[in-house]
A and B are shown apart, each in its own frame.
Chain A
Amino acid sequence: MKIEVLGTGCSKCTMLESKVKDAIAKVGGFHEVVKVEDIVEIMNYGVMNTPGLVIDGVVKSTGKVLSVDEIIKLMQNK
């Protein structure tokens, strides 16, 4: 699946990105991780609190650094 991390480069956004990578390492398989830094693109998702997490085009969470387990849960729930 395609996982996008939305964020303009604040520390929380980088934290979320690394958590996402940890989560993928844990579940295995091939997944694409994209860091979206362009503000206009972030706006197009309607997200106003960064970091945002988008899985296959659907906004799953905003304004939070999720834990590895929470990310795995969101990946499996889709």
Chain B
Amino acid sequence: MFDWWEELSATFVYDTLSLQKDTNIAEALHFFIYDTLKILFLLVSIIFIVSFLRTYFNTEKVRVYLQGKSEFTGNILAALFGIITPFCSCSAIPLFLGFMQARIPVGITFSFLISAPLNNEIAIALLFGLFGWKITAIYIGFGLLVAILGGYFIGKIKNVDQYILIPVTPIEGELEDVEINLTLNERIKEAWDYTKDIFKKIYIYVIIGVGIGAFIHGYIPADFIAQYAGGNAWYAVPAAVLMGIPMYSNAAGVMPLVEVLTQKGMLLGSALSFMMAVTALSLPEAMILKRILHVKLIAMFFAIVGFGILLVGYTFNIIL
């Protein structure tokens, strides 16, 4: 699908600019042009599709749907809903308390809270653009697994409810479904506005990320990481997870770098762990949740999800 774009970029670099093929500068520039175009295009299309579908769902609807679901089924459904519903870390508190009001168990709520940022449309669009659909499918599949099991085990913590610092009064009876009545045009407009919003926020990070990636691509030898940074050393995965935690806000810039690093010898499992840590374990979200949750529960949340991500990383380093 993108072959002719690659040719176009190649023609531009080698013929129009008459740069010598296989020189560092030509390879870096070709990589930069092709990757930037491809990723920005995919970002716009995927974010648009997801935000269009999203006009049919909202968190209030999800809450109605999850209400009264049994433990394991609830975890699975919550994780699946996490893919499609919008999530911004500033909504984490109202969302958490809103689920509590509907008497949805803490574990199921956490499955949703883990899955929503992990499977966000920006991460999915970038993965698809950079690594192709197979890796994207693996990422989503294992992301769901981490969310389902992570939430399940958090729900198994003894007296987990005592760690919630704000008293929640449950809403009596069944919740009403909030109807969203929009015409098709309104939905398209809303999705398009949202896409423009997100695009404006992240395009610069993508360009910078791909720029640095292009430099590495052109100038750093292929087995650099394998040689100097211990590509398959045992500590590669935990190191990747730890590095991923503070990078939440810059997922758009970080992922293009990861792609290049895998070309330079970083193992795919380590890369997957890193990307999952970037999206699922976010310090800003933890700080926000601290207002309603005891630090102990947040620490356990990070520990359980971190452990799950580690397992994913090791598994893939071994089998891929």
Q: How many residues of chain B get a CB closer than 8 Å to chain A's CBs?
A: 23
**Which residues of A1-39 have CB atoms within 8 Å of chain B's CB atoms?**
8, 10-13, 39
Q: Which of B94, B99, B171 has the most CB of A within 10 A?
A: B94
**CB-CB under 8 A for A49 and B292, given A8-B94, A39-B94, A42-B94:** no
Residue on A with the closest CB to B62?
A: A48
Residue on A with the closest CB to B91?
A: A49
Interface residues as binary, B65-91 with A (CB distance below 8 Å gives 1, 0 otherwise): 000000000000000000000101011
Instruction: Compute the total of residue contacts between A and B using a CB distance below 8 Å.
Output: 56
**CB-CB under 8 A for A62 and B90, given A48-B95, A48-B98, A49-B95:** no
Chain B interface SS verdict (over half): helix
Contact of B90 among A10, A40, A64 (CB under 8 A): A10
**B309 in the interface (beta carbon within 8 A):** no
Give chain B residues whose Cβ lies under 8 Å from the Cβ of A10: 88, 90
Contact of A43 among B59, B97, B190, B291 (CB under 8 A): B97
A12 to B101, CA, bound (A): 24
Q: How many residues of chain A get a CB closer than 8 Å to chain B's CBs?
A: 17
Contact of A48 among B94, B166, B168, B291 (CB under 8 A): B94
**CB-CB under 8 A for A49 and B166, given A8-B94, A39-B97, A63-B58:** no
Binding site for B on A (CB under 8 A): 8, 10-13, 39-40, 42-43, 46-50, 62-64
